[in-house]
Structure 1
Amino acid sequence: MYYKLKAITSLRSLDIKINAIQHIGIPVTDLKRSKTFYERLGFANVMQATFDEKGEPGTCVMMKRDNMIMELYELPESGLNEIRSRSNGHIDHVAFDVEDIEVAYNSIKEAGFNIIEPEPVFLQFWERGCKYFNITGPDGERLEFNQIL
């Protein structure tokens, strides 16, 4: 059986320096339980911060082991039903580490990808913060481009 692929963007490769997968984001329903689970696998909590989710505070923890980072985040109570109702897994996004978020954003925009945010978003994560933006892939998967400042 043959499938016809629909052209989504230009076939040329973008000139963006992607260093590696930066982290994998997982929404969790019990942050304490999830932290303990990943600690048992040898991960350590290297960053914890709150974020705003529709006017309510959520909590994000970055768990690191060697060069792997798992982002565990707990939404406020009002957002937990969405997480609990998922039946096909809980990986929310894959994040790519980029050297220059503005260059990456402009290149992605110029190439015609579907960008979710109108501009790179700053978060007070890590020591000096980070900036990120997301695109959606052909099956709706979310790919994040992230620069730790």
Structure 2
Amino acid sequence: MGEAAYITGLQHVGIPTNDLEATIAFYTSLGFEVALRTGNPKADEQVCFLTLGNLCIETYENGCAVGKPGAVDHIALNVTDIEGAFREAKRAGRTLLDQEVQFLPFWEKGVRFFTILGPNGEKVEFCQKL
């Protein structure tokens, strides 16, 4: 079956920042709207999701953004069944960065996700909004 059976499209692109306010100002000047502003208690980071049409950027202030080309941290794929996708990723022998499905209290009911490593060192997150 494979992970593709659970993927419905791009969920978001993760961009770390050292200045959340400047990042929000930049993207809103391009027409993006703040969809959710919250915190990630596990990482002690402030987080903002910005949307424009069907594009979503998750930016988070982590104090260690590299600030040069190649600085996008991850892409997240929207999935319909996080447990099924996780099972398939393990079966396929993917390099798992999370040993179990994670949870964060983002959005109304939270999100469940896990991350794998791509062939170029990129992080690919599988994400299901609850």
Q: Which residue of 2 aligns with 1:124?
A: 105
Give the TM-score normalised by the residue count of structure 1. Answer: 0.81
| C-alpha deviation, 1:87, in angstroms | 4.1
Question: Could you tell me which of 31, 45, 48 is aligned with 1:58?
Answer: 45
Runs of 4+ in 1 over 2 A off after TM superposition: 12-17, 86-89
Whether the aligned pair in 1 keeps the contact of 2:2 and 2:89 (CA below 8 Å) is no
Identity over aligned residues, as a percent? 36
> Partners in 1 of 2:4 and 2:54 — Cα distance?
24
Q: Which residue of 2 aligns with 1:41?
A: 30
Is 2:87 the partner of 1:70? no
What is the root-mean-square deviation in Å for CA atoms of aligned residues?
1.5
Aligned pairs (5 A) from 1:24-39: 24-39=13-28
* Structure whose alpha-carbon radius of gyration is higher: 1
Unaligned runs of 5+ in 1: 1-11
Higher strand share: 2
Letter of the 2:52 counterpart: R
| C-alpha deviation, 1:13, in angstroms | 5.1
Whether the aligned pair in 1 keeps the contact of 2:14 and 2:73 (CA below 8 Å) is yes
Whether the aligned pair in 2 keeps the contact of 1:16 and 1:107 (CA below 8 Å) is no
Whether the aligned pair in 2 keeps the contact of 1:46 and 1:64 (CA below 8 Å) is yes
Give the TM-score normalised by the residue count of structure 2. Answer: 0.92
Q: Which residue of 2 aligns with 1:18?
A: 7
Question: Could you tell me which of 96, 102, 112 is aligned with 1:115?
Answer: 96
- 1:93-131 per-residue CA deviation (whole Å, 9 max, x = no partner) reads 010000010000001101111111011100000000001
> Partners in 1 of 2:69 and 2:52 — Cα distance?
26
